[in-house]
Amino acid sequence: MRKYSAEIKILACKEFISGKLTHREICEKYDICFYSKGRTSMINTWLPRYLACGEKAFIHNAGNDKLSASLKERVVKDYLSGGGSLVDIAAKYNIRSKETVRRWVLLYNANRELKDYIPNREVYMASAKRKTTIEERKEIVKYCIEHNRDYKGTASIYDVSYSQVYSWVKKYDATGEEGLTDKRGHHKSDDEVDELERLRRENARLKRQLEEKDMLAELLKKVHEFERM
């Protein structure tokens, strides 16, 4: 998905509202992808936010990105009470994507905690890694890729670490969904590994056997000493 500057978004919305150019003409003028079959473009997503919040809808800074748990809950309850579509609610609260609102609704309906989000560098350094299912990883990767590979934002929304998201996306790029399978705990048999690995395993087994023999010899020695007492 292409990224568009705040300036392009604002100009495109103003042009659309003025009615001087057609939807297609605006897209051609600002090099915005136009989907002729559905007669839609990114302008359809930008416009509700522009009408609700004006130019500030597309001008973000560190303060704008802070999202409290109470705000998330208010957004969700507004949507569930029929306050509007996902697009309408996202525009009303100046949330960047309707998919973000959808995710909060899913978490809320699943009785999962909606946490405060205050952007900082700790998200990159986070070491806590919650367990995820293969279906969750597929959803997370899909969301991240569809949102310009925003690893940090995706990690916050799905309550996982930055490193997890980054790793899953890279594995998906390399091998597809197969790369998202958690192979931890799977121990290959001797027939499934190469010669070098078989030799390493055999060496480890012999070492354990020698250690066990030494322990047995030491134990027998102590038994004999005890019997002579």
Tokens read off for 32: 């915005």
pLDDT at 124: 47
SS3 33: coil
Which residues 6+ apart lie within 8 Å of 210 measured at CB? none
Amino acid at 221: K
SS3 116: coil
SS3 141: helix
Which residues 6+ apart lie within 8 Å of 181 measured at CB? 134
CA gap 135, 10 in Å, rounded: 37
SS3 161: coil
User: What letter does residue 159 receive in the DSSP assignment?
Assistant: T
pLDDT at 129: 61
pLDDT at 125: 47
CA gap 5, 13 in Å, rounded: 13
pLDDT at 63: 42
Query: What's the pTM value of the predicted model, to 2 decimals?
Result: 0.42
Q: What is the Rg, in whole angstroms, of the alpha carbon atoms belonging to the chain?
A: 28
Q: Which residues of the chain have pLDDT under 50?
A: 61-64, 121-125, 127, 185-186
Which pLDDT tens digit goes with each residue over 14-70?
A: 999 999 999 989 999 998 888 766 667 888 888 888 887 788 778 764 444 567 888
